[in-house]
Chain A
Amino acid sequence: MELTLDDYLLVSGLLFAIGFAGVLLRRNIIIIFMCLEMMLNAANLSLVAFSRFNVQNGLPNYNGQMLVFFIITVAAAEVAVGLAVIVALYRSRQTTHVEDISSLKF
């Protein structure tokens, strides 16, 4: 049995769904942040699969891989800033539990 594009898309979608469920279910803000990274990686997997699928002149379409490269770079910057925000939040509130951070709640 040979692999098809939809195998990769299905795995990518499942990874996204797991990350999505984690964001919805977990209450620890650091775990939520990790699940966000997981969702970004699921998008990366489908981008690389499409890049490999769309062969031009015998080479993969590298435009998709470029997008993945930039996503990884921006995600690294995002993690650095996000974790700094979480540390600042922990300093003022002594908690990483989202239900204890409710001063903006209506």
Chain B
Amino acid sequence: MTAILFWLFSALMLGFACAVVFNRNPVASALSLVVSFIGLAALFVLLNAYFLAVIQVLVYAGAVMVLFLFIIMLLDLRAEERRKFNTVVVAGGMIVAAMFVAELYAVIEQLPFRVRTFPPLRLDTALNPGTLNDVQNVGRLLFSGYNLPFQVVGVLLLVATIGVVVLSKKELK
């Protein structure tokens, strides 16, 4: 059952990822990317990372892609007219990507853990017997071991916000 779901959502994710690359219309590309991200969130659920799956849908499929769509519609981008292809560039890009896949496959083939499956989780926690308290575990680690990076990321978001406001001003001086 898990395997069927895995291949289903993987196919969905990869198919719509291809649609992002091959669509001519930027709005269609952005919407395909939303579906691709939702497929990825489903794979996170299969890996028992429930918190990250929710964050993936909220932040990526929600906020980030809405921002993309907003900018595409603000700039009023139409479907690109056909330009003449630079054959060398297209062929080079395809070859580099294909070589990457081939190399990756060769490396995965010889991994030492190739036949090992995922070890089972121990689900006997006191709070919610039989379930993985994913949010609790993530939150505890985030506010103890990763407290400093968490605060630094907060500052980063503030700096990014200020930077965006400055960049969006009418005249850049």
Question: Which residues in A have some Cβ–Cβ distance to B below 8 Å?
Answer: 1-11, 13-22, 24-28, 30-31, 33-35, 37-38, 41, 44-45, 48-49, 51-53, 55, 57-60, 62-63, 65-66, 68-70, 72-81, 83-88, 90, 96-97
- Give min CB distance, B140 to chain A, whole Å: 9
Residues on B with beta carbons closer than 8 Å to the beta carbon of A9: 104, 108, 111
Nearest-CB residue, chain A, relative to B137: A62
What are 30 residue pairs bridging A and B, where the CB atoms are less than 8 Å apart in the complex? A1-B3, A3-B117, A4-B115, A13-B108, A15-B17, A18-B21, A20-B96, A21-B96, A25-B89, A28-B80, A30-B72, A30-B77, A31-B26, A37-B64, A45-B43, A48-B44, A60-B47, A65-B49, A66-B142, A66-B146, A69-B138, A74-B153, A77-B159, A80-B160, A81-B164, A87-B71, A88-B167, A88-B168, A96-B77, A97-B80
Structural contact, A72 and B21, CB atoms closer than 8 A:
no
Residues on A with beta carbons closer than 8 Å to the beta carbon of B119: 53, 55
Kindly identify which residue among A14, A20, A57 contacts B14, using a CB–CB cutoff of 8 Å: A14
CA A81 to CA B83, docked complex, whole Å: 29
- Give min CB distance, A90 to chain B, whole Å: 5
- Taking residues whose C-beta sits less than 8 angstroms from the other chain, chain B's interface range is 35 or more
Structural contact, A28 and B75, CB atoms closer than 8 A:
no
Structural contact, B80 and A11, CB atoms closer than 8 A:
no
